[in-house]
Amino acid sequence: MLSLNIIGAGRVGKSLGRLFCHHHVFQIAQVFNLSSASNQAALAFIGEGQAVNDIAKVNSSDITLLAVPDDAFALAIAQLITAGALKPQTILFHCSGSKSSKDLLRLCPNLEHLQIQLASIHPVRSFADPDEVCSDFAGTICSVEGSPQALAILNPAFTSIGARLVNIDSENKLLYHAASVFASNYLVTLMDTAIATYVAAGVEEKLAQQMAQSLASKTLENVFKFGTSKALTGPIKRGDQQTVQEQAATVQTWDADQGALYQAFIQPTIKLAKR
């Protein structure tokens, strides 16, 4: 069984670690986190592995999962190379939606000299609750790109834990990830704004959450049942432009940032309504 090091066992790293361990896909070798407490928690969650708190003490493995924040990639890779933890022909992959395997080469050209096989595999789902991720990972769409040698190992590994694989062009990773940001991150921000606006209008917060949940849940259901054009309702769909402008001004008076957000949605929604 091939060995796997996990560099940064946060929600994504430890979730994949547990899935690989429980499905007997890889042997979890070393797990690196900065603090002993987070390392022990990660190992308890994964069920296997050796804790390492100093990246300079990481040993080489067949495969390395880089699960640190994107901005920390260059430093972490440089430290792993210095430590001798990345041997020629081994595999290094990450799960960032916005970075590609080619981005790793741009950040650390030495990876090509070392003949490290690179890939990125991005699970298209939220990792807010690792327990839930591990219990229902089957069917999760994962976007993959990288060297043929790396994907020859990683594709069947992810298939073994239930992933649905979709190939993506490395040059389109940023645009691809922007779609995920719209569908997930900004959706959360939008719901936060909706709840805050209800509260500003005098609705009690718990009730505001229920109102937003009821409306948003049914709207999303309609989006994926009928398509975006048919799911759209409201004043723009009805052509009530005066109402829209009065509402935009009211929101702007209440909160400038939320007013700007409301205004930003008007023209895209007009275009959608015309479709």
CATH topology of domain 176-274: N-(1-d-carboxylethyl)-l-norvaline Dehydrogenase; domain 2 (1.10.1040)
Reading the block at residue 4, the tokens are: 């796997």
Residues of the chain with CATH 3.40.50.720: 3-168
**Residue-wise pLDDT tens digits, 83-110:** 999 999 999 999 999 999 999 999 999 9
Q: Is the pTM of this model over 0.85?
A: no
**Residue-wise pLDDT tens digits, 198-231:** 999 999 999 999 999 999 999 999 999 999 999 9
Question: At the top level of CATH, which class does the domain 3-168 belong to?
Answer: alpha beta
Residue with tokens 């699970």: 123
Q: What is the mean pLDDT of the chain?
A: 95
Element (H, E) at 166: strand 164-167
Residues of the chain with CATH 1.10.1040.20: 176-274
Query: Are the CB atoms for 57 and 142 separated by under 8 Å?
Result: no
